[in-house]
A and B are shown apart, each in its own frame.
Chain A
Amino acid sequence: GAGVSQSPSNKVTEKGKDVELRCDPISGHTALYWYRQSLGQGLEFLIYFQGNSAPDKSGLPSDRFSAERTGGSVSTLTIQRTQQEDSAVYLCASSLAGAGGSYNEQFFGPGTRLTVL
């Protein structure tokens, strides 16, 4: 079966431009997560979706970052006016349910490597 997919796999952009990153979760997974991994860092939580709503956006680093999810499926993470410090690998994950426990294994996509020049 298909896993979590993300596009593009790589994105190089100029400082100040807007970028959109896409995530296609596993079909039927109600929970969707965005993480960021900067060089030498762990996975930094950005935002969590349960269905189409985002109960927790606390990890978004600034108001330049936004995300939406439509139809309980595809999600897009938008970064406006990109800065060099936004350069990182952006990872998306999905899970069957949003509560902690053994059924909440998160399945990750391959990530989008964003480079801001």
Chain B
Amino acid sequence: DQQVKQNSPSLSVQEGRISILNCDYTNSMFDYFLWYKKYPAEGPTFLISISSIKDKNEDGRFTVFLNKSAKHLSLHIVPSQPGDSAVYFCAASGSGTYKYIFGTGTRLKVLA
């Protein structure tokens, strides 16, 4: 049972436009969410996080939105740059736990 789902395996966006990556979860006990970015032959690197007490968190070009009622979060990248081309994973965790459940990832390609 996939508790964290990223239904789009890939996404292509023109440079300068907005990239929107989506993530859905099923466990209502999740209250902390993260996005990681992964380049080939490297480990994932932390990008941005959001707690369930918020519905938006912004860091430069990256904004994460959380819709708790829909159990949905999204990552917006604007403007998109070719260096953003990578695989993006969302992950979720419950309060006081140590384990993050990761989605299957979305491969973003930003076209120059």
Q: Which residues of A contact B (CB under 8 A)?
A: 4, 31, 35, 40-45, 48, 50, 55-56, 91, 93, 98-102, 104-111
The docked-state distance in angstroms from the alpha carbon of A99 to that of B100 is: 10
Q: Which of B6, B31, B46, B95 contacts A106 (CB 8 A)?
A: B46
The 7 closest A-B pairs by CB, nearest first: A108-B43, A42-B104, A43-B102, A98-B98, A100-B93, A42-B102, A108-B44
User: CB-CB < 8 A to B31: which residues of A?
Assistant: 100
**Which range contains the number of B residues in contact with the other chain?**
20 to 34
* Contact of B41 with A by CB under 8 A: yes
Q: Are B32 and A100 in contact (CB under 8 A)?
A: yes
Q: Could you list 16 further interchain pairs (A-B, Cβ under 8 angstroms) beyond the known A48-B98, A91-B44, A105-B46?
A: A42-B6, A42-B89, A42-B105, A45-B99, A45-B101, A98-B98, A100-B32, A100-B93, A100-B95, A102-B32, A102-B49, A105-B34, A106-B100, A108-B44, A110-B41, A111-B42
* Contact of B12 with A by CB under 8 A: no
CB within 8 Å: A-B pair count:
67
Q: Which of A98, A102, A110 contacts B42 (CB 8 A)?
A: A110
Closest chain A CB from B73 CB (angstroms) = 15
Q: Are B98 and A104 in contact (CB under 8 A)?
A: yes
* Contact of B28 with A by CB under 8 A: no
The docked-state distance in angstroms from the alpha carbon of A31 to that of B36 is: 18
User: CB-CB < 8 A to B100: which residues of A?
Assistant: 45, 106
8 Å CB contacts to A: which residues of B69-99?
89, 91, 93-99
Q: Are A111 and B98 in contact (CB under 8 A)?
A: no
Q: Are A56 and B46 in contact (CB under 8 A)?
A: no
